[in-house]
Amino acid sequence: MKDNQDISSRKLIDRLVPDLHWGAMQGLLATTFDLRPEFLETDFLPSVFGLGAWDDQSWATRIALEKRLFELDAAVILTEARRYRGRPRSLRLDVRPVVSPRGSVLHAKVTLLLFERAVRLIVGSANLTKQGYRENREVIAVLTVSHKSKKEAALITQGLVGMETALSSWLTVDARKLIRRSIETVQPWLNGNADPDTSFVWSTGQSRLWREFVGRWPVGEPVKRISILSPFWSQDASLTLSSFLAQLKNFGPLAPDAEVRLLTDAFKNPNGELIPVLPPAYAAQDWQALGVKATAQPVNPEVHPEELGGMEGFTSTRALHAKVVLVEGTRSGLAYLGSANFTAHGWGFIPGEGNANTEAGVILRRSLHNSDFDSVLPDLVGQPIVLSNANIHSLRPPEMGPADEPWPEFIRQVLLAPVTADDNKLELRIETAADGGGFLWHARLLDKDGIPGETLLSLEQTKDSTKYVFPVSLSDQILTRLLTDQEIQICWDGCPAGRPFPLNVEASARASLPISPGKQSIEENHLISYYQGRIAWEQLFPDPNAGGPSGDQSMLATAIASGVDKSRIQSYQIREFVEALAGLNQDLRSATQSEPAMRLALLGPVSPFALAQTIIDAVVAGRRTPTAAGFQLVEILACLQLAGSHPVPERLATVWQQHLQQVNGKISRLMGKLVADHPALFASNKAFGRYRKAVLNGETMLKT
């Protein structure tokens, strides 16, 4: 964290970019206290996907991100419910506001990224916000394990096992599977050489952070100096710092000259001096009676000149948000780097399960002779201020932050899911878990243009520990509103005006979600051009704010360049189709790394099935002869047969065959209908029958 460290290593957002050798990302699970949807979509996700320069104003770049999210096995964000400020635009991200017991919050900032050939675990103080990753002074550990770098395998495994335990009551099925898959991925790289002096710790109501930390201090070694870096502090100094000192003394005595340094955010007073931001109670505490000399000193808020890249006139500063505790003895040093502020709730000093936050971090124990522990602390400014009543005016009391808005804690989730009797239709499901006396509540569409939205559900919630699921039938109009708004308004006695609550989509229904609003049917010539490599996948989808599919311009340019529009000449159509088959085969070969990618490539809007449907549409419209269409369908079925022999990860082999069987059956039925609609033509065409049998080896269904 020192300002003289390599600048590139300190640019947090740049450290998210993956190595190309890791392969495609397969899953994402993140926890955050604060979430800013615009940062997640325009900065964080493009970085972790390695999408390069990002232009959120470009429709094609948004579609590229949507495709990447579609291909993930899981994409789950857990965020503290009382801090909810909106969800990202993509419904392929499962956003879960979690309700902690009163007196505690979900405060851990951990991101799990699973790749084909790597696992990455990011832990520290940064929320998923622009401030966290670009503006604040934060501390973070980016842990990565792959076949080329196995050093952190044991530490990552420890973090993953703790993650499943600490977040157990909030994890979705997809999130739990992702954690276990990540553990399985890491297992072959474990070599038994775990570092006993480095630990990944989760702390909850059952596992307090102070116990996890002080229990690692070498028994009997005197404590000489304690440095605590925190932007937020408990108002009651005697409860936090004195409790910490008391617990630490159980493992090692305080040296006669023991010192406690409180490192805080900086405030510029009227004299232009930078002074510590700290509650006055820390000056009023009798630290001498506790056997230590206590001082406070602010962290330098200035941005290092090298970070500005030569920019002149820049006057912005960095707010402190890092959290570090460093204990130094005669021989050893012990450091915590993570999410926990030095507060009673963060470190778990208040008795009772509901009074400790869920936090996460890394604890390091090192020999002082071999490690420069001060390097984990930022540069300081000014002189240390001795904490005493005489110096109380040398501190700046912290400002009170805004109170959290009320939250409908009785709502567990709001979900779009397939109707039980018809999985082609979606219904809204509102799941509750009542934990109070009877009260009235209702759910409605978001207000629009100042007019309250239509009521979707209204009922009295009664005291019961049982979970209830309330299904709501949806008209096409309301479904469109929900897909657009992506939230509903929950109103109850404690908040009559209501709070927006995020809408999620059941995993089985996400494949049917439109890639973009508006028309989803893509024309045959556009699909052919994509498989030929002439236009990008993103160009196939319409921008709702433009006058048609962006792919039209590429297709029109091709026609103009040739001098003749050949799109309606059947011989050219078939030739173009044949030239596209190699690209179709390659597309299927590239789709075998995750089940969602398989579904998208085989049954999505850009797929063999979509292409087969456009071919049948051409026959119905009179633009294609039935025989030519039959030839095309046979060739598509042959591509599917070939895809059955593509190399597939062992865990997905059965799923790949099942999806191939499904799409093969759908296209075979299209072929059957084509033949049934033109019986005389196909009965008299013996050559087509021989061709079909030869190409498909006498089979129209794949072997299983």
Nearest to 108, CA basis, from 256, 209, 2: 209
Identify whether residues 323 and 236 lie together within a single domain.
Answer: yes
Identify whether residues 36 and 170 lie together within a single domain.
Answer: yes
Angle of CA points 134, 139, 140, to nearest 5°: 90
DSSP state of 57: T
The count of domains in the chain is 4
Identify whether residues 15 and 101 lie together within a single domain.
Answer: yes
Considering the domain boundaries, does residue 165 fall inside one?
Answer: yes
Q: Where are the alpha helices (DSSP H) in 250-297?
A: 281-284
- Spatial separation of the C-alpha atoms in residues 528 and 606, rounded to whole Å: 10
Considering the domain boundaries, does residue 202 fall inside one?
Answer: no
| pLDDT given for residue 44 in this prediction | 94
Identify whether residues 336 and 442 lie together within a single domain.
Answer: no
Identify whether residues 362 and 433 lie together within a single domain.
Answer: no
Given 508, 532, 554, which residue is the final one in a domain? 508
482, 457 in Cβ contact below 8 A?
A: no
Nearest to 700, CA basis, from 655, 640, 625: 640
Identify whether residues 128 and 55 lie together within a single domain.
Answer: yes
- Spatial separation of the C-alpha atoms in residues 514 and 655, rounded to whole Å: 23
> What residues make up the domain containing 366?
209-305+316-394
Residue 248 sits in a domain whose CATH number is 3.30.870
Residue 396, both tokens: 């700046």
Pairing of strands 254-264, 223-229: parallel
Identify whether residues 492 and 564 lie together within a single domain.
Answer: no
* In the block, residue with structure tokens 């109501």: 205
DSSP state of 375: G
Considering the domain boundaries, does residue 531 fall inside one?
Answer: yes
Considering the domain boundaries, does residue 190 fall inside one?
Answer: yes
| pLDDT given for residue 319 in this prediction | 94
| pLDDT given for residue 448 in this prediction | 84
In this prediction the pTM is: 0.86
Identify whether residues 376 and 489 lie together within a single domain.
Answer: no
Angle of CA points 486, 470, 100, to nearest 5°: 70
Considering the domain boundaries, does residue 516 fall inside one?
Answer: no
Considering the domain boundaries, does residue 404 fall inside one?
Answer: no
| pLDDT given for residue 439 in this prediction | 72
Q: Which class for 460: exposed (0-12), middle (13-18), buried (19 or more C-beta within 10 A)?
A: exposed
Considering the domain boundaries, does residue 204 fall inside one?
Answer: no
- Spatial separation of the C-alpha atoms in residues 336 and 178, rounded to whole Å: 27
CA torsion 653-654-660-662 (nearest 10°) is -160
Identify whether residues 499 and 425 lie together within a single domain.
Answer: yes
Q: Please, what are the averages of pLDDT over each run of 10 residues along the chain (704 residues)?
A: 47 88 94 95 92 70 87 95 92 94 91 96 97 94 94 96 96 96 95 87 93 95 96 89 93 94 95 93 91 95 68 70 96 96 94 88 90 83 93 91 84 93 86 68 89 84 66 92 93 92 91 67 90 89 59 41 52 88 94 87 91 94 92 95 92 93 94 93 86 75 34
Nearest to 120, CA basis, from 182, 77, 192, 31: 182
Residue 451 sits in a domain whose CATH number is 2.60.40
Identify whether residues 358 and 429 lie together within a single domain.
Answer: no
Identify whether residues 583 and 501 lie together within a single domain.
Answer: no
CA torsion sign for 204, 208, 214, 219 is: negative
Considering the domain boundaries, does residue 515 fall inside one?
Answer: no
Given 173, 195, 217, which residue is the final one in a domain? 195
Identify whether residues 242 and 321 lie together within a single domain.
Answer: yes
Given 195, 217, 241, which residue is the final one in a domain? 195
